[in-house]
Structure 1
């Protein structure tokens, strides 16, 4: 009898220990969004843990510029977190193909997203989806409403109106017309070339034609945006060549510049830093009546480390990320990052709402270099950084830049040969 009692006691202890272990799952999340730390700690994590008290979350971001290298090192060493925040298209596709990300196609909650939303985190044939879409960002221009009112300016709709506004701001002399530098290069491409460019190459029509080899980077619609960027230089202020991205942000939020070539990701930070009212206008079309195109770029998703020791808990979290509840929290706690789920989310921030309203007026596309075209060497995305900065600085002609980019792409990409 005593022996049976001992066996029962041991079994009960084992079950209790097993239950305790199940209550003690902690998932670590890798991310490059270190500016989101407070959002995760204050809103996302408490909301999830309230519904799933048996799963704890640990958000451990890296500096954005270091994320890819840090993440790859951790993955190779087997020390990466359970959940991996995914950049769009090729960077994450490479992780999936290397066996680091799990196919999530069978996650029921994936039905909450359109094919377009999922395309940034799928194989080329669309058979595997390896990250849950979280948000996109939209490109345009943020402006100082006080400055515009003071100078009697209205939001420009066409390129002629855009340069007329810049001329008036420059002539007045109270403000730097436009806050952007070329020191870091990427902003010249992201907030310059891929901001205004879709109006030249007709968004997805041109981007897909480039991938198919039906258009070339020497064609007028791909070269002309560089000529337009070259016209920006007189409006960027003295020393723009050495001006960094944080310099430009500060110049605008301190009220010293009237216009900021932007992405909607700036909204939250600018709201906190600027003491003036802001507005936003979409990339001006070439001529009145033209169809407008916007870069509505699939920016961030989240996937599961294939080596996680907690796959079920990770899938539970990913299903929650795909829910309307998460979309509501994320879209309003981080205005300017727009949820990709099919369930509409009412965006409360007026500046972010201005950006997202353009989806109803314009055709959407993504950055031209992100899918397929930057897989080889030279990397077209990185080359476009340098070309955009060179166009603004006037160190090469638009035609020379187009030819260099085309030669580089054709050197490794068969459809362009």
Structure 2
């Protein structure tokens, strides 16, 4: 081979390498939200790619029930995407501890989130953050505005007003006062106990005290919500014990019930199904003027595969996810899933606006059982499902429930022993 041909060959190699380097980087995103595919394809991906030429996104969701197993298999095989959509707390913490998720603490935009927002995707000591918070869901009550107007009802703000409203609806007889069943159990805990409970245990103050062992599940502030749930029994209509979660949704959207103990994720479906105007009110306080507390529960985040071949591009995308632009797109495309960044987002959906407005008035917390306290057996989250349902049905007293839950937690959790 002559020097000339060697030079041409080397030049060709250099051009090929330069061309490869200049080509677009494609980031693959793993997620369980397969119902979000059109949102990513039509809104999120075009918005990001328009601002970041050279980085392409590919959203590849799995079925929700299969996501954890499928993702773990891909990670173990080295075939997982660059970006990993994160479930809250222990599932994602396990991925980080196994070396699958990168530490993102050095991303400047992480400062856009509160400690509560970041808590679902941090190590227990808060020293490392491994997912950028995307959205939370907020708990409260959705109500039928037509029914309230028909009965001359005002939105309740205190617990006494709340039960007075329920009494009026029940006495009128045209509506079931409140649509919720106990058949599936989880909603009794999620939209019942962890909806009203933060008012009693003062949100983060009580939740963190339970984790530290300073408070116990037999303390009044943890038992009292079960007593309140027991009072709900008289307002749930006949046969609530056999009523499933879809049953409750249908009862409300068909206009048969006046109030629905809710998570904000119901908003898109209710908007489609209900032919009446809806409003929302936050969990009632004990007395007028008391501090209000809401469960503003961290639900979804996104992190970086520690083995990604494109870490710089992935970090660029994650910084954008932490931006107000992403928050505005996501919050309006999925009303009821609320961006977690500190920058306020202008939401278009009126019901979503109501839920989000409570952040300015109330102290935010997360569901009491989700961080640390459900790692052992018995699992406190699952035990709380049964306890909340039992409280409503009246099959156990609040004190019995508190004692049973405390015994279970103390059997494996050292700070409670």
Distance 1:58 1:253 in 2: 36
Unaligned stretches of 5+ in structure 2? none
Measured against aligned partners, the alpha-carbon deviations of 1:202-234 in whole angstroms (never above 9, x if no partner) come to: 111211111111111011111111111122223
- Aligned pairs (5 A) from 1:64-79: 64-79=64-79
For the 8 Å contact 2:116–2:365, the answer to whether it is kept is: no
Distance 2:348 2:231 in 1: 36
Distance 1:234 1:70 in 2: 44
Post-superposition offset of 1:53 = 4.1
Measured against aligned partners, the alpha-carbon deviations of 1:49-93 in whole angstroms (never above 9, x if no partner) come to: 222343332323344444434433443444433221112222321
**Corresponding residue of 1:315:** 315
Task: Report the 3-state secondary structure (helix = DSSP H, G, I; strand = E; otherwise coil) of the residue aligned with 1:30.
Answer: strand
Task: Report the 3-state secondary structure (helix = DSSP H, G, I; strand = E; otherwise coil) of the residue aligned with 1:80.
Answer: coil
**Corresponding residue of 1:379:** 379
Distance 1:174 1:64 in 2: 39
- Aligned pairs (5 A) from 1:296-375: 296-375=296-375
**Corresponding residue of 2:282:** 282
Q: CA 1:176 to 1:62, structure 2 compared with 1: closer, same or farther past 3 Å? A: farther
Distance 2:310 2:349 in 1: 37
Q: CA 1:407 to 1:38, structure 2 compared with 1: closer, same or farther past 3 Å? A: same
Distance 1:290 1:109 in 2: 34
Measured against aligned partners, the alpha-carbon deviations of 1:331-388 in whole angstroms (never above 9, x if no partner) come to: 2222222222232222222211111221222222111111221122211111111211
**Corresponding residue of 1:184:** 184
Task: Report the 3-state secondary structure (helix = DSSP H, G, I; strand = E; otherwise coil) of the residue aligned with 1:370.
Answer: coil
Q: CA 1:100 to 1:225, structure 2 compared with 1: closer, same or farther past 3 Å? A: same
Distance 1:273 1:76 in 2: 42
Distance 1:70 1:396 in 2: 40
- Aligned pairs (5 A) from 1:118-267: 118-267=118-267
Distance 1:18 1:351 in 2: 49
Distance 1:237 1:57 in 2: 49
Post-superposition offset of 1:2 = 4.9
Distance 1:399 1:121 in 2: 34
Q: CA 1:53 to 1:184, structure 2 compared with 1: closer, same or farther past 3 Å? A: farther
Distance 1:44 1:312 in 2: 19
Distance 2:140 2:272 in 1: 19
**Corresponding residue of 1:3:** 5
Q: CA 1:55 to 1:196, structure 2 compared with 1: closer, same or farther past 3 Å? A: same
Distance 2:30 2:247 in 1: 28
Instruction: Give the TM-score taking structure 1 as reference length.
Output: 0.93
**Corresponding residue of 2:397:** 397
What value does the CA root-mean-square deviation take over the aligned residues? 2.1
Q: CA 1:64 to 1:146, structure 2 compared with 1: closer, same or farther past 3 Å? A: farther
**Corresponding residue of 2:49:** 49
Post-superposition offset of 1:130 = 0.4
Distance 1:65 1:284 in 2: 35
- What is the aligned length? 415
Instruction: Give the TM-score taking structure 2 as reference length.
Output: 0.93
Unaligned stretches of 5+ in structure 1? none
Distance 1:119 1:322 in 2: 15
Post-superposition offset of 1:108 = 2.6
Distance 1:179 1:74 in 2: 42
**Corresponding residue of 1:34:** 34
Distance 1:244 1:349 in 2: 28
Q: CA 1:14 to 1:267, structure 2 compared with 1: closer, same or farther past 3 Å? A: same
Q: CA 1:256 to 1:44, structure 2 compared with 1: closer, same or farther past 3 Å? A: same
Distance 1:310 1:152 in 2: 60
For the 8 Å contact 2:92–2:121, the answer to whether it is kept is: yes
Post-superposition offset of 1:279 = 0.5
For the 8 Å contact 2:139–2:262, the answer to whether it is kept is: yes
**Corresponding residue of 1:272:** 272
Distance 1:114 1:206 in 2: 18
